[in-house]
Amino acid sequence: MIGDLGARDATELAAWVAKGKVSPSELLDAALSAVAARNPAINAVVLMQEGAARKAISDGLPPGPFRGVPFLLKDLGAEARDFPSHNGSRLFSNTRYARDSAIHERMRATGLVTFGRTTSPEGGIGTATEAAVYGGPTRNPWNPAHTPGGSSGGAGAAVAAGIVSMAHGSDGGGSVRIPASCCGLVGFKPTRARLPDGPYVGEGWAGMAIDGFLTRSVRDTAQMLDACAGPDLGAPYVAPPLISSHADAITRPPRRLRVAICDTTFTGEAIDPEVAEAVRVAGRLLESLGHQVFPARPKADVAGMMRAWTDIVAIGAALSIRSALKGRPMSEDLVEGVSRGACAHAEGLHPTRYLQAVGEIHSFGRQMAATFEGQYDILLSATLAEPPAKIGRFNHASTDYVDYRIGPNGVFAYSPFCAVFNASGQPAASLPLGRSDTDLPIGIHLAAPFGRDEELISLCAEIEAAQPWAATRAPMANPQ
């Protein structure tokens, strides 16, 4: 059935269009019907622009790999003239852009039919998506009492709910991989600078942030990465060149790899028993595929990295918010608690702290490179330390930004794995391999050395073939 977009990946839908089995307008109609039926329960799709989507179809879609497939942009970044944005914040609501970002231009060139945006937390700070500008939290299609993650939580929820087969996201500390884990999807963070940032920014969060996609299949991720890869004009630095392409890499299995497995945090603390067991099960799967699996943890200053990450993100938030306020007071009706706390923290730092923190991040990247070098090819862990959190646990009411991030019950205790690889710049992925006793998704995390994106995505494809997840869907996405 055409309306059941969640049952098919974007590659299959594009093949239907190419064969004349369905038109782009019919697919758009199906996506809009799914929004009407499912979005009220999850609050994931916002700022709908049906007119822009209809015009794109009537003007003629580019003959790319996803021609005619409905698509959504994250409501943070991906600047586009036809798609105003709230950026997850009342302060930035209804922002309009004079030109398209490079990443949007490349996504549009694949033939996608973009018709709206998906929710994000204010400033992209956090592992839940509950921004006040959207009038309520975004909920997980697997269980609406739980979060779909953040900061690409709306994207994850929209794909998991079967509204679209694929959506844009971005990842500055796990913001693609965390929703992938919470929503039972594929989330891949490429090597630093693999995708373009311009022209609106030179780099996000000192190079730790990068765009990405929430998908149901590895092949969709591979095609989108290939379509968008490469620096934009004037980029401050570029990623190592690919050997061939992500799409080519998934056509054959990788070499047999040395896989280090970590069923604790990277500093040795215990994680949720169900999640730890899911990691061990994934290790046994890799072993059955002929890979060498052995226990190990990275030898790097993870705690120091997270302190530096926390300061850099606070400084970025303060710069953005202060610029937008234009001298107005930072009132509660414009800026949420965590963001106000981030500004206060940033403004209490010494003026030299930013460059010091960036230096600490660079040092950490070298530590991570050394811990992989000659020891293992892949680091296997959980994506999150526990199953998806309850709604409200990570909302932005608190003004204690540092406690929110790195306190004993904060975001980093819940998500101690993902930000490590934003700091190091290494490619990393979350795959939907586990499930809790309460039927919530558990993501398994895989990371590779800097620049080895093709080997990592090849391994992801091999795992997908060995343990397919396409038929596993959130209850909301099943046809009624």
Task: Report yes or no on 337 lying in a domain.
Answer: no
CA 426 vs CA 72, 209, 302, 342, 352: distances in Å: 26, 12, 15, 26, 27
In the chain, % of residues over pLDDT 90: 97
175 is catalytic: yes
| Of 247, 127, 120, 118, residue with least CA distance to 177 | 127
pLDDT at 1 over 60: no
d(CA 445, CA 465): 17
458 is catalytic: no
Task: Report yes or no on 429 lying in a domain.
Answer: yes
Range of 27's domain?
A: 5-302+358-477
| Of 159, 65, 164, residue with least CA distance to 108 | 65
Task: Report yes or no on 331 lying in a domain.
Answer: no
| Distance separating the N- and C-terminal Cα atoms of the chain | 12
How far is C-alpha 104 from the geometric centre of its chain's CA atoms? 16
Strands 210-215 and 258-261 come out as: unpaired
Note whether 72 and 164 are within 8 A (CB). Answer: yes
Angle at 340 between CA 338 and CA 345, to 5 degrees: 90
d(CA 411, CA 385): 10
| Of 167, 173, 93, residue with least CA distance to 133 | 93
Q: Which of 74, 85, 181, 430 is catalytic?
A: 74
CATH number at residue 124: 3.90.1300.10
In the chain, % of residues over pLDDT 70: 98
Phi, then psi, of 143 in degrees rounded to 5: -165, 110
d(CA 184, CA 143): 12
Q: Which of 85, 89, 120, 151 is catalytic?
A: 151
- Over residues 422-467, the pLDDT tens digits come to 999 999 999 999 999 999 999 999 999 999 999 999 999 999 999 9
Confidence at residue 478, expressed as pLDDT on a 0 to 100 scale: 81
Counting the structural domains of the chain, the total is 1
Task: Report yes or no on 394 lying in a domain.
Answer: yes
CA 88 vs CA 94, 129, 134, 214, 291: distances in Å: 10, 9, 8, 18, 42
- Over residues 80-130, the pLDDT tens digits come to 999 999 999 999 999 999 999 999 999 999 999 999 999 999 999 999 999
- Over residues 193-224, the pLDDT tens digits come to 999 999 999 999 999 999 999 999 999 999 99
Can you give the pTM of this predicted structure? 0.98
Q: What is the DSSP string of 247-307?
A: HHHTTSPPPP-EEEE-SS-TTS----HHHHHHHHHHHHHHHHTT-EEEE----S-HHHHHH
Note whether 69 and 9 are within 8 A (CB). Answer: no
- Over residues 263-310, the pLDDT tens digits come to 999 999 999 999 999 999 999 999 999 999 999 999 999 999 999 999
331 is catalytic: no
Q: Is 402 exposed, middle or buried (CB count within 10 Å of its CB: 0-12, 13-18, 19+)? A: middle
Task: Report yes or no on 55 lying in a domain.
Answer: yes
Q: Which of 175, 217, 320, 424 is catalytic?
A: 175
Handedness of CA 94, 148, 470, 219 (dihedral sign): positive
Side chain identity at 23, as an amino acid letter? S
